[in-house]
Structure formats: structure tokens, C-alpha cells
Amino acid sequence: MSGHPSYQPQSAFMRWMERRLPIGGLIYSSFVAYPTPRNLNYWWTFGGILAFMLGAQIVTGVILAMHYTPHVDYAFDSVEQIMRDVNYGWLLRYLHSNGASMFFLAAYIHLFRGMYYGSYKEPREVLWILGVILLLLMIMTGFMGYVLPWGQMSFWAATVITNLFSAIPLVGDSIVTWLWGGFAVGNPTLNRFYSLHYLLPFVITGVVVLHIWALHVAGQNNPAGVEPKNEQDTVAFTPYATIKDSFLLAVFCIMFAWFVFYIPNFLGHPDNYIPANPAVTPMHIVPEWYYLPFYAILRAIPNKLLGVMALGASILILAFMPWLDTSRVRSARYRPAYRQFFWAFVIVCVGLGWLGSKPPEGNYVLFARIFTVYYFAFFLVILPVLGKIEKTKPLPKSISESVLREGEPIGAPAPPPAGAKV
């Protein structure tokens, strides 16, 4: 991980520093000279986008924390004070609330990219599991953050989700009381959620460091799913990957800005502009869009404990993908059958998300159940079986070959003569 041979400090100060704390060398080997497969497409930029969004959420969040009051009588009004009185408060608040949505959007794209191209396969299993842990941490952080404005949805989401733990036999109720710090969601709950919401992003940062470390040990996966074999297969991270990431980050920020400046409340729910009222439950309690698929799975199971277990399993099962998938071929580019099931899985996830926003009645419940079955069948049945019986396309011999000869050249006018430069 620490690359000493390549970095040549240019200034006397850096030479002095390198002997004492070789940060310069670390950054150089990890983000400048680091060999990156040359055929990465734009789906690979979302890791960098996620790092940017984590930084953005932390910066805007720490600033919001300067103005927010975590007390049930003042929380809602303090958020409104941020929106009205704090200089650029409206901007910081909307950046943070819409930033959470952008964060999850990028995370899901990043995740689906991994599923499609087999980035979870050997030797990247630990990298993948760290990613699942990051997803879990994000889910917890986002949930607690949403409670803080203390609107109707904040309060009732907190009530519903903490009540899930009562499904645990024997100790369930004690756990719920312990989480609440009282006999219902109240001021103690709000305060501890605030504390943990501030803490968890830094835990996420630590796990991200491990995630990048694990990545750099194995190296990037790439769309062909074959490992780099020689120097022609890779390019230096800087400037090639850096500029590509920067470009898509700017485009991503255009979309982010569209929400923040023009439709800042589109992804939210109007009920959260009603101050929390423990005596009145909203007609339809809905979580934010990024939790909807899991919410649909939870409600699809008629039994309380099994529903909670299904909810947990729907996230944790991701961690087992490296072992559930029996295929020898990494990338879905060369697995036509898997590709179909993958896209069906994506549609099922989107469908579950939509169903999660609907009241649990009639046909909605029926389809939520059908989709939940497919969701779990994808991992438990399709992945193991398909790997054994599928017919895959022949793999390219190397990344360079896949780029220059496989019909996906990036601007090459004519392939080099056979046997020339490989």
C-alpha cells in the first residue's frame, strides 16, 4: 500500500517530510501513479462521486450543527431559523437534505455497477463486504438525520422503525425502551440520534479508508472483468482517471444543483413541514425514497418478526454475493443470461421502491410479495444455479485486446497489426 520507490520529492521540504511521515509518497502511489485499467467506463466514476458527497455532507452537516437545537420544543423552529435567518442557511439546509438523496443515488449506482461487472468476486470479497457495511452505516445515518427536523414524518418514522425491534422475542421490548430512553419516542431519543448522526459519518470515513485500501490491494475491476496483465492495460490514475472522475462529478453536480435550487422539496414529504404531533399519525407514513424498496419488503411479509428479518436479510444478503455467485466469469458483458436476470433485478428493485410508497392494500401487497420473492430468489437461486449452467461468451485475452479488437475501440482508427505491440 505504501509505495516508496516511485515518489520523487521535488522540494527540500517534501524530502524532509518524506523521511518523517511519508504522506507525499502515500498520496502519490495511491492517487497519482496508481495503475488504473484503461478501459474503465463512466460507471466507475461513482466511487469518486461518493467520496465527494461524503465530504459535502460532512461539511454542510457540521455547519448545520452550529445552528440546530436538538430539543423537541426547539428543533423544528431551529431548522426554520436556519432556513430564514442564517446567512445562506436555506442553501446549506437544502444541500444537506438533497445531498443525502444524491449520496444514496450514487451509492446504488455504485452497487449495481459492482453487481453487473462482478466486482464482488475473488479477490475483492472483503472490498465488497466493506461496501455493504458502508451501505448499512449510510442507512442508519440517513434514518437518524431525518428524525432531527422533528416534523411529523421524522417523529413517526422514528416510532415505526424503533418499534421494529420489539419483534425480537424475549428482549425486544427492553431493547425498544433502551433505544427510546423513555416510554415513547421523545426528547432523549432526539438527543441521542443527534449525537450518533454526528458520529457515524466519521465512522463511515474510517471504513471508506479501509474500502480504498482493500481496493488498492486488489486493483480496480474493469468492464471486461479480466485482470490487467501488462503495462499497456493500465494508465496512471492521475491525470486519466482524475479528469474523467472530475468531468462526471461536474455533470452529477448539475443534477444536484437542479434539485437544490429549483425543486428542493421534490424528494421530501410535505408532512415533514408539520411539527411533530405524538397524538396524530399521518395518513400514510412513508420513508424517504432511498428506503422504499426495503420498506416494501418489510410490509410484504404478514408476520411481524419474519418481516423484520426479511428487511435485515435483504441488505445482509448482499454480503454473501461473492460466494452465492458460482460463475467463473466476472463481467456480465460476457454473461448474456445473467444480464437478463440482472436487469430484471433492477426493475424489481425500482418496482419495490414504488410499491413502498403505496398504501399496503390490495394489488400493491400482491405485487410486493411477488417482487420480494424474486429479490431473494435472485441471490439464493439464480446466482448459484446460473453460474453452473450458463453459456458465457469467450473472454478477451487482455484488457488491451478487448479495447482494441473487441468491437469497442475508444477512437482507434484501425487496429494495430497482429502481434505488433502487445
Residues 23-52 interacting with another protein (rule: CB under 8 A): 29, 33, 35, 38
Displacement of CA 132 from its chain's centroid (Å): 8
| Size of interface with another protein, in residues (CB under 8 A) | 89
Measured torsion, CA atoms of residues 191, 134, 254, 351, in degrees rounded to the nearest 10: -100
Among 23, 55, 123, 385, binds another protein (CB under 8 A): 123
Question: What cell does 394 get?
Answer: 469467450
Long-range contacts formed by 267-271: CB under 8 A, 24+ apart: 267/97, 267/98, 267/101, 268/97, 269/153, 271/151, 271/152, 271/153
Closer CB to another protein, residue 367 or residue 376?
367
**Contact with another protein (CB under 8 A): which of 109, 125, 140, 271?**
271
| Contact between 372 and 300 (Cβ < 8 Å) | yes
| Cell (9 digits) for 7 | 515518489
In whole angstroms, what is the distance from residue 208 CA to residue 400 CA?
Answer: 30
Number of CB atoms found within 10 A of residue 34's CB: 21
Q: With contact defined as beta carbons under 8 Å apart, do 321 and 334 qualify?
A: no
388 binds another protein (CB under 8 A): no
- Using the rule CB under 8 A, which residue among 186, 264, 312, 387 binds another protein? 264
Report if residue 112 touches another protein, rule: CB under 8 A.
no
Q: According to the binding rule CB under 8 A, does residue 236 interact with another protein?
A: yes
Q: Name which position in 5, 394, 407, 417 contacts another protein (CB under 8 A).
A: 5
- Residue of 246, 380, 405, 408 that binds another protein (CB under 8 A): 246
Q: Interface with another protein includes 265 (CB under 8 A)?
A: yes
Q: Does 408 bind another protein (CB under 8 A)?
A: no
Rounded CA separation 254/270 (Å)? 25
Q: Of 188 and 239, which CB lies nearer to another protein in the complex structure?
A: 239
Mask of contacts with another protein, 342-381, x by CB under 8 A? -xx--xx--x--xx-------xx--x--x-----------
We find the least distance from the C-beta atom of residue 248 to another protein, in angstroms, to be 9
Binding to another protein in span 310-339, by CB under 8 A: 336-337, 339
Quote the DSSP letter at residue 334: G
For residues 147-186, which are near another protein according to CB under 8 A? Answer: none
| 3-state helix vs strand vs coil in the chain, percent to 5 | 70, 0, 30
138, 158 contact by CB (below 8 A): no
Footprint (CB under 8 A) of another protein, residues 66-105 = 66-67, 77, 80-81, 83-92, 94
In the complex, the smallest distance separating the C-beta of residue 206 from another protein, rounded to whole angstroms, is: 22
Q: Does the footprint of another protein cover residue 261 (CB under 8 A)?
A: yes
